[in-house]
Amino acid sequence: MTSPNDQPRAGVVGTGLIGGSIGLALRAKGWHVTGRDRDEARAARALELGALDAVGDDPEADVTFVATPVGVMAASVREALDAGRGWVTDVGSVKAALAGEVDDPRFVGGHPMAGSEQEGVDGADAALFEGATWVLTPTASTDPEGYARVRSVVSSLGADVVAVSPERHDALVALVSHVPHLTAATLMGLAAEGAEEHATLLRLAAGGFRDMTRIAAGHPGIWPDICAENRGAIVAVLDQLIEALGQMRRTVDAADRDALLDWLERARVARLNLPSRAAARPENLAEVRVPVPDRPGVLAEITTLAGELAVNIHDLEIAHSAEGDRGVLLLVIDAESGDLVRGALLARGFRPSVQALG
Amino acid sequence: MTSPNDQPRAGVVGTGLIGGSIGLALRAKGWHVTGRDRDEARAARALELGALDAVGDDPEADVTFVATPVGVMAASVREALDAGRGWVTDVGSVKAALAGEVDDPRFVGGHPMAGSEQEGVDGADAALFEGATWVLTPTASTDPEGYARVRSVVSSLGADVVAVSPERHDALVALVSHVPHLTAATLMGLAAEGAEEHATLLRLAAGGFRDMTRIAAGHPGIWPDICAENRGAIVAVLDQLIEALGQMRRTVDAADRDALLDWLERARVARLNLPSRAAARPENLAEVRVPVPDRPGVLAEITTLAGELAVNIHDLEIAHSAEGDRGVLLLVIDAESGDLVRGALLARGFRPSVQALG
Residue B196 binned pLDDT confidence (cut-offs 50, 70, 90): low
Q: What is the pLDDT of residues B201-252, one digit of tens each?
A: 777 776 678 878 888 887 788 899 999 999 999 999 999 999 999 999 999 9
Residue of B212, B230, B237, B240 to mutate, testing the A interface (most A Cβ within 10 Å of its Cβ): B212
Q: What pLDDT sits at residue A195?
A: 65
Mean pLDDT of chain B: 86
* Region of residue B84 (phi > 0: left; psi between -120 and 50: alpha; otherwise: beta): left
- The reply to whether residue B212 touches residue A210, judged by beta carbons under 8 angstroms, is no
pLDDT at A199: 66
pLDDT (tens, 9 = 90+) of chain A, 358 residues, equals: 444 458 999 999 999 999 999 999 999 999 999 999 999 999 999 999 999 999 999 999 999 999 999 889 999 999 999 999 999 999 999 999 999 999 999 999 999 987 654 568 888 888 888 878 899 999 999 999 999 999 999 999 999 898 889 998 999 999 989 999 999 999 999 988 876 556 667 777 776 788 788 888 877 888 999 999 999 999 999 999 999 999 999 999 999 999 999 999 989 888 877 765 444 445 688 888 887 776 657 777 888 888 778 787 777 766 554 444 566 777 888 888 888 888 888 888 888 888 777 5
What is the model's pLDDT at position B310?
79
Which DSSP category does A275 fall into? P
Q: What is the DSSP letter of A70?
A: G
Is residue B255 within 8 A of residue A231, CB to CB? The reply is: yes
Q: Report how many Cβ contacts below 8 Å link chain A to chain B.
A: 320
Q: Which of residues 235-264 of A touch B (CB under 8 A)?
A: 235, 237-242, 244-246, 248-249, 252-253, 255, 257, 260-261, 263-264
- The pLDDT tens digits for A65-115 are 999 998 899 999 999 999 999 999 999 999 999 999 999 999 999 999 876
Chain A residues within an 8 Å CB radius of B168: 198
Sheet holding B87-90, edge to edge: B54-55, B32-36, B9-13, B63-66, B87-90, B107-112, B133-137, B160-163
A330 by DSSP, 3-state: which? strand
| Number of residues that this document lists for chain B | 358
Q: Are B239 and A249 in contact (CB under 8 A)?
A: yes
How far is A18 from chain B, CA to nearest CA, in Å?
15
> What span, in angstroms and rounded, lies between the C-alpha atoms of B58 and A352?
74
Pairing mode of beta strands B326-334, B313-320: antiparallel
Q: What angle do CA A291, A86, A311 make, to 5 degrees?
A: 40
Q: Poorest-confidence range of A21-25, A72-76, B255-259, B305-309?
A: B305-309
Q: How far apart are CA B187 and CA B193, in angstroms?
A: 10
User: What's the pLDDT score for residue A222?
Assistant: 85
- Three-class SS of residue A127? coil
Predicted local distance difference test score (pLDDT) of residue A282: 52
Highest mean pLDDT among B18-22, B67-71, B140-144: B18-22
Predicted confidence at residue B199, as pLDDT, reads 65
pLDDT at B115: 66
Distance, CA of B46 to CA of B52 (rounded, Å):
6
Residue B132: what are its φ and ψ, rounded to 5°? -80, 155
For the four alpha carbons of A298, A303, A309 and A312, in that order, the dihedral sign comes to positive
Name all domains of chain B by residue range, CATH numbers in brackets. Answer: 9-164 (3.40.50.720), 169-272 (1.10.3660.10), 285-356 (3.30.2130.10)
Tally of CB atoms within 10 A around B193: 15
Q: Is B323 exposed, middle or buried (0-12, 13-18, 19+ CB in 10 A)?
A: exposed
Eight-state DSSP code of residue A176? I
In A, which residues are within 8 Å of B227 by CB distance?
Answer: 252, 255, 260
Give residues 175 to 194 of A whose Cβ lies within 8 Å of B.
175-177, 179-192, 194
Q: Do A245 and B241 touch (CB under 8 A)?
A: yes
Q: Which residue of A has its CA nearest to B171?
A: A201
User: What type of residue sits at position B80?
Assistant: A
Contact B186, A260 (CB under 8 A): no
- Cβ pair B180:A249 closer than 8 A: no
d(CA A259, CA A256): 6
Can you give the length of chain A in residues? 358
Q: How far apart are CA B77 and CA B358, in angstroms?
A: 40
Chain B residues within an 8 Å CB radius of A242: 242, 245-246, 249
Chain A touched by B270 (CB under 8 Å): yes
Separation of alpha carbons B298 and B106, rounded Å? 15
Residue B59 has pLDDT above 70, yes or no: yes
Q: Please give, rounded to a whole number of angstroms, the shortest distance from the CA of B3 to a CA of chain A.
A: 35
Residue pLDDT, tens place only, A308-322: 787 877 777 665 544
* pTM for this prediction: 0.74
Number of helices (H), then strands (E), belonging to chain A: the values are 14, 12
Q: Which residues of B198-228 are buried (b: 16+ CB within 10 A; e: fewer)?
A: bbbbbbbbbbbbbbbbbbbbbebebbbbbbb
Cα–Cα distances (Å) from B271 to A133, A180, A225, B261, in that order, read: 27, 15, 22, 15
Tell me if B223 and A264 make a contact (CB, 8 A cut-off): yes
Band (B324; pLDDT cuts 50, 70, 90): very low
Q: What is the pLDDT of residue A54?
A: 97
Give the phi and the psi of residue A69 in degrees, each rounded to 5: -60, 150
Find all residues with CB under 8 Å of A217, minimum gap 6, and list them: A117, B268, B271, B272
List the B285-293 sheet strands across, edge first: B313-320, B326-334, B285-293, B353-356
Non-local CB neighbours of B310 within 8 Å, separated by 6+ positions = A198, A199, A200, A203
d(C-alpha B190, C-alpha A248), whole Å: 12
State the Cα–Cα distance between residues A243 and A337, nearest whole angstrom: 36
